[in-house]
Amino acid sequence: MSQALPETIPTTLFAERADAVAAAARELSALGWTPATSSNFSMRVDADHAAITISGRDKGRLGRDDIMLVDMQGKAVGTDARPSAETELHTQVYRRWPQMNAVLHTHSRTQSVASRLFAKAGMVRLQGWELQKAITGYTTHESVLQIPVFPNTQHMPELVARVDAWLDAGKPLHAYLIDGHGIYTWGRDMAETRRHLEALEFLLGCELDLRRLSA
């Protein structure tokens, strides 16, 4: 492994996080949610560092050596490898919420189509679905779960600013779509983050089906 670690991070800790990130990537890839090297995945390592996928790798074939360390500004630490092109979106989550420890970003067909369909409205409004309760803090199907759709850009600071603006307006945020691109979601651990991602994939699929059936 060409990853050098700061003295404060035990090798076993980084290896554990890297293995968890790589395993999640392989499993989500097996579902067909990471086509053509797309998607990126990370876990917090400590207050100042995260383990994230190296840019451009086939997410269905990741191992420990495909994961690298970054600081909370998204800069590589202890390696010449290039972190995900979207690293700033991950470190934003870790900076804003100290209790969040995993971030998943995928490009499933359902997520991609939904992002285009709802881009004009600027959000997907979910209500009436029992599976909303899979999102932490939601206890009834009657509540409204808003998933914003932000315009796509290759300039990450622009997306970071849109997320900040949404949060600074006091709106709850558990996930967001990027138009024509995919979804980001996060959680306190990998299991919670996986649950959020699976629930959102299911709910977006239901919304798309409803529109197809009522067309």
Ligand X SMILES: CSCCC(=O)C(=O)COP(=O)(O)O
Q: Does 39 bind ligand X (CB under 6 A)?
A: yes
Chain positions 175 to 194 lying near Zn ion, rule: CB under 5 A, are 182
Instruction: Please list, in sequence order, all residues whose beta carbon lies within 8 angstroms of the beta carbon of residue 204, skipping any fewer than 6 positions away.
Output: 110, 111, 114, 124, 147, 183
Residue from 206, 11, 16, 4 nearest 113 by CA: 206
CB closer to Zn ion out of 148 and 182: 182
105 annotated to bind ligand: yes
- Residue 196 interacting entry, from Zn ion, ligand X, none, C-beta within 5 to 8 Å by type: none
Kindly state the smallest distance separating residue 189's Cβ from ligand X, in Å.
Answer: 21
Q: Does 36 bind ligand X (CB under 6 A)?
A: yes
Give the residue at shortest CB distance from ligand X.
84
Task: Answer yes or no: are the C-beta atoms of 42 and 22 closer than 8 Å.
Answer: no
- Residue 169 interacting entry, from ligand X, Zn ion, none, C-beta within 5 to 8 Å by type: none
Q: Does 155 bind ligand X (CB under 6 A)?
A: no
Q: Does 79 bind ligand X (CB under 6 A)?
A: no
Task: Answer yes or no: are the C-beta atoms of 40 and 53 closer than 8 Å.
Answer: yes
Residue from 69, 62, 76, 2 nearest 26 by CA: 62
- Name the phi and psi angles at 44, rounded to 5: -65, 140
Annotated binding site: 105, 107
